[in-house]
Amino acid sequence: MTDTAIVREVGLRDGLQLVKEMLATGTKLEWCRLQAATGFTEFEVTSFVPPSVIPQFADAADVLEGAQKIDGIRPSVLVPNLKGGQIALDRGAEKIAFVLSASEEHNLSNVRKSTDASLAEFSELVAARAERGLENQVELSCAIATSFGCSIQGEVPEARVYDIAEQLADLGADELNIADTVGYANPLQVRHIFTELEACVGDVPLAAHFHDTRAMGLANVVAAVEAGVRRFDASLGGLGGCPFAPGATGNIATEDCVYLLESIGLGTGIDVSALLEVREKLDDWLPGERVEGRLMNAKPAKTYRPAA
């Protein structure tokens, strides 16, 4: 097999978002550097949000600047609005991950505006990139949060997800990141929604962002793979939680996701054993945090063979 997949490390962003203990900028960059050495090229390193909202990202500019100096990786930053996007452009981000929610209520709660208003801001961000002449230098990805359901609103009509995806594709999004923000997705739904999306967004690449809140994280990865998805977000040690579900677990664990993908024949370019060594350091960096993931304890099977 020669098929490949990209795993994007989002631990520095989604993983740290709810962590109360401030991780030093130097430690964040050390994490990024060490993990890059295991074969990762994609990292979401921080978020341009007001420090009053998420103090953990008060050092966003420094983290981005430091990550930009790490060889061989492309650091992306999450932005929840146009203003964050403009800062990211100004700071020379090569990839910007805008986020809006398919659930109207989630969008209102998250960024205090309607989903349509967020779509309009994404459009303005595309224009801002064009004004700077950066169409070929900066990739604009857009995450559609709560695409599989919402813990506030409940059901999110799938037609709404397709509608938003089409609008984003038309506006010029370079990637759509379909996110199960609250861990509601099941594999049947994942395969169905990604298959429908493939049909309605043309050649815009789809990425998948799953949480393991209800134990279906990796089953959803497999379902997305079956639907043709080859880009996955994951967080080292499954770091990250959900503000609406205390005690619930966070993103799928990077090390488990890489191990799964390699096991089913999708090359990631990542050395699993080296990755576990970086994972081990998380315990020192965040001694108070609950870290998840199975592979760390179990270690790769004797029969494990990475994909080609």
Binding site for its own copies (CB under 8 A): 149-151, 154-155, 182-184, 186-189, 212-219, 221-223, 245, 247-249, 253, 256, 259-260, 263-265, 293-295, 297-303
Q: Are 119 and 168 in contact (CB under 8 A)?
A: yes
DSSP for 164-177 reads HHHHHHHHT-SEEE
The token pair at 206 is 């789809």
* Nearer to its own copies among residue 4 and residue 41 (C-beta): 4
* Nearer to its own copies among residue 97 and residue 266 (C-beta): 266
Query: Does the annotation count 142 as an active-site position?
Result: no
At its nearest, how many Å lie between its own copies and the CB of residue 167? 24
Cα–Cα distance for residue pair 273/303, rounded to 1 Å: 14
Counting other chains too, the contacts that 106-110 makes at CB distance below 8 Å and 24 or more residues apart are 106/145, 106/146, 106/150, 106/151, 106/152, 106/153, 106/181, 107/145, 109/152, 110/80, 110/145
Tell me the Cα Rg of the chain. 18
> What is the DSSP secondary structure assignment for residue 207, as one 8-state letter?
E
Residues 6+ apart with CB under 8 A from 70: 29, 32, 33, 36
* Nearer to its own copies among residue 256 and residue 289 (C-beta): 256
Partnered with residue 100 across adjacent β-strands are 144
At its nearest, how many Å lie between its own copies and the CB of residue 24? 30
Query: Which residue in 32, 142, 150, 242 is the catalytic one?
Result: 242
* Nearer to its own copies among residue 197 and residue 216 (C-beta): 216
At its nearest, how many Å lie between its own copies and the CB of residue 215? 4
At its nearest, how many Å lie between its own copies and the CB of residue 76? 25
Cα torsion through 11, 16, 19, 22, rounded to 10: 120
At its nearest, how many Å lie between its own copies and the CB of residue 306? 12
* Nearer to its own copies among residue 190 and residue 204 (C-beta): 190
Backbone phi and psi for residue 294, each to the nearest 5 degrees, phi listed first: -95, -35
**Which residue numbers are catalytic?**
242
